[in-house]
Amino acid sequence: MDVLGIKEGSNVADIGAGSGWFTVRAARRVGTTGTVYAVDINGDYLKYIEERSERENLSNTKIILGKEDDPLLPRQSVDAVLLLKTYHEVAEPIRLLKRTREAMRPGALLGIIDRNGKGDDHGLDKEVVIKEAELAGFIVVGQYDFVKADNVDYFLVFRAK
């Protein structure tokens, strides 16, 4: 979260939120003056996040049922965006990234964490991600690699051009 500048009062989007692992942690970090948008195309995941947020008194979490190519975030609403182990699943990545860029405030950062691979192994080479992000109007401002038991993961950070 530090790499993306997420702090108290930030507005953050968790695209492909899944079970909400990042959503919950970000909601605690941004506090009552910030907002976390949990975006997914699976309503069951979003229902789980909503129930968990209520249980844990995280009233700063907003649920959005997005589309495969559009997170449906409000324009210029977020300071940071994270796609955690989601990007390789996106069918229309450039379109999704363009829509995401519209939701980002000036200076906002986009983080993509995924694993190297060919797509069929739940991964995607980072060079492909960088090229697609550039086509969507982003520039790379940070790259981090880290080793896990099953592969080498990467964390790419982008800013809108």
Dig out the tokens for 129 from the structure.
């991600």
Residue 119 pLDDT more than 80? no
Taking 80 as the threshold, does the pLDDT of residue 81 lie above it? Answer: yes
Band of pLDDT at residue 106, cut at 50, 70 and 90 = very high
The total number of residues written for the chain in this structure: 161
Q: What is the pTM of this model?
A: 0.93
CATH numbers and ranges of domains, the chain: 11-160 (3.40.50.150)
In this prediction, residue 121 has a pLDDT band, given cuts at 50, 70 and 90, of: low
Confidence of residue 148 (pLDDT cuts 50, 70, 90): low
Q: Identify the pLDDT of residue 151.
A: 67
Cα torsion at 85, 86, 91, 95 (round to 10°)?
A: -120
Q: Take residue 159 and report the two structure tokens written for it.
A: 């800013």
Under 8 Å between Cβ of 23 and 61: yes
What local confidence, expressed as pLDDT, does residue 147 receive? 64
56-60, 114-118, 125-129, 136-140, range with the lowest pLDDT: 114-118
Which helix (H) or strand (E) segment holds residue 159: the answer is strand 151-160
How would you label 110-136 residue by residue, b for 16+ Cβ within 10 Å and e otherwise?
bbbbbbbeeeeeebbbbebbbebbeeb
